[in-house]
Structure 1
Amino acid sequence: MLIADQFFKLNPVDIFGQEGNYQQKLKGSAERDERNDSGVESISCRERRIQRLIQLKKEESYATFSNMEKRDDLDNLFLKYPRKTMCVLNAGYASIGGVDGEQLEAVFKPFKNFERVVTLHGKPYSFVVFRGGEDAVVARNALHEKPCTLFNGKTLFLEYINHIDFAEIANKHLYQRTGNAKVTLDESVGFYYIPNFITLEEHKAMIESILADDERKRASVQSADKRWFKIQERFVKHYGNSFDYHLKHIGSKSLVASEKFPSWILPFIERAAEKVPSFNGKVNQLTIQKYPVGSGISFHTDSHTSFEDTVLVISLLTPVAMDFRHPATRAIITKDLEPCSLVVMQGEARYGWEHAIRIRRSDLIAGEARERQERWSMTMRTLNESMTCHCNYPGLCDNNSQVVRRLREERKAAKSEPN
């Protein structure tokens, strides 16, 4: 039986014990606590030795991380306030008596909203990701500088770290190995920008088709709840298949406006395949998005296990500056997406870069401020039927997340059930 299976159902207290239990064991030794003349309880010599040993181990772990990552700014890198990602400084593949991802998962699984562990080959430290900082803080309070019985009483050291710093550390190995210091965002890494992909007449007809479809949905009581969903400050509508923004994966068919693609979009999918030969012309998920003035979307990578290699985006109504961030090098490249344009992301551009639209009311283009207006876009993708990914970008990949594993197990169980 796997270690993760053995401890999957244990509560955090069962695994780590209470701090009081740990102190109780110390008090059971021959060197029991005594009170000094002032009546204040003093710690024993044995306890002081243990505390010194833990402090030395901690300093050694932090120094090792600093040397291997060439970072002398740990006070800035490791944060005092909660973040969803934590660095486990003394548990990894390369540590003496090292652990693997499965063993670390057994430690963190009992905590609510634990997502995944990221281990780096040859590194004595690892990373753990939760859904939010409020979830990570519970785990840190239970684990940090406390003995872990799953690791034979080893004291773990955990620190909060920003997503971009985590992604840089996790992904930069690829650039270090190849020695490629130059960062570009073009066809060489799978990024295609095609201005005037559709004509002004086609653009007008596309807008009218979207509005006409809205009117048809309003006339149908059954479809009244299948129009636009508000996600933060933008509005989305799905065709073919939906995306669940809470689950961060493919959603229910009940969330789609229609299981069929609108007929008016099909010619443009064929045109995209003609423009980009590496695109096979097959998509089965369409999301139309409306961005009111001042709205945006935070840095993200489209879920690796939800969708295949190709992501297409057609921009409508007005232009917007989209930022593309390369975590491995921290480079940020801004692209001005004009209406009627097409963006295609494949390969490294799709898996190893993040993209975002800043939340603001204007963009700075060629040194001049350009006021934003409402913008629409259409994103087209193909479902990843295997729900697996084997890319080289662990800092951005959801292949080992608990949600994705559960979804794979549910699909496997559903297929094995008799009809």
Structure 2
Amino acid sequence: MAEEWTDLPGIESLGTDQRSTARKTGRDKRRERLERKRKAAYERLARATGAADLSELFSAQPTPVLCVVNVGYGGVTGATTEQIEALVAPCPGFARVVMVHGKPYTFILFANATAAAQAHTTLHDRPCPMLADKSLFLEFVRLDPSSFTRPFQSHLAGLMNPSPDQPASQESAAAYPLYVDFPVTVNPDSLLKSLETKGLYLVRGFVTEAEEKHILELAADQADDAWIAVNDRLVQHYGHTFDYQRKRVGDQQTAKSRKFPAVVHAILNRVRTLPVFDCDEQSPENAAGSPAESTGPSPVAENRGGAATTLVEEVDSDQSRYVGARRSLPFPRFDQLTIAKYPVGSGISFHSDSHLSFTDTLLIISLANPITMEFRSPFYPEADQLHFRDHLESRSSPATGPDRGDDVRPGPRGITIPNPVAVDLPPRSLLIISGEARYGWEHAIRPRKSDLLYESGAIRPRQFRVSLTLREVDHAYQCGCQWKELCDRFRVR
């Protein structure tokens, strides 16, 4: 591998032997850093593709397609199609760049395997000035049809079998710069209606502009050292803290404040009037009351894991189907608030909020800028999770393989919910997560610099965002839900 060496500061003052040792030490450290980056890049690609062995994806022999392992589109350290095209355009036989939104890798297509091999020799393991001297890791891609190779298959077919009137070499490499794998789904409003049967509700424009401005000013007025760093985001806890390592609620004394800001109380008093809640069970002051006053066991702790969801069987002419019908939700005594600041590119990994620490029904309020949040369920087939789990109280742990038995029934025909499903959260929106969506699903925000809008196909750059998450602490620290795979009572030591 070619190495470039810049003398260390003050190296000329050293003797010849010392200078040689310093240079060797510097080269060794650079190689170590490069190897760490290489290992991380290949591990990231393996996670993104689900490949147990990368030999399933890459070929030891040259092929017409190269994969840049460590450069993708939309990622935190990604690049644009224009940058990659400018980098490889001088290479003989270059045909096209194909980037996949949100993936950490890029495909480069050439006219033949020989041209790809020449580009591999020129670019592989070399610092790239156009990408801040980042060293590129390139591999030849196996051409077998698969989900990994799907983004470039149509382009490859055009290169291998060009039409007489429009040879592939005359096509613009930017004609199809970005591959977007759209899920098969209904329109957004119909999708949200389907998600409501799972206990997921989105209310757009719920927070007023004045309330948003006030909360953002409160967050901006405090220095970063007043916040807790959790991965790439900053958080503050009110009412109770939360220990992200132990996955347990901390005591009130270490929270930013034992009481919520007044503006949050005002928002909660409006939340309780939404039709999804049955607020006859609690008085207004308890519904949005002081966290410091909430010390006893939760009055809804026994209603967990989807007990607020009843399954209603509907029969059509030729098929039985299960459709979720919601009862009114008990309104929790929200006594834990987390305010989080998300810088551009940050996210949060897939998780289900602690079943033992919090009761049913979480609220997420998005402020400042939009974000796409993803939801997934390990209990339903990939790309189709409109199913309902039947006979929960008598079931053992549900199967997650291809054979799931008779206790997963298909939902209404003609409606498909992808798994995972992306839900766009506009600024000032309120998201309610309850029932099955609370206990049987995980949610995440992918760490990347842009989001794909499935309704329009547009790529939206991300910007700074603030979120509020409101929960009710389960002081009994108990959960009787049936979602064992996601319930932390089975992981507590």
What TM-score do you get using the length of structure 2 for normalisation? 0.42
What TM-score do you get using the length of structure 1 for normalisation? 0.49
Structure 1 or 2: larger helix share?
1
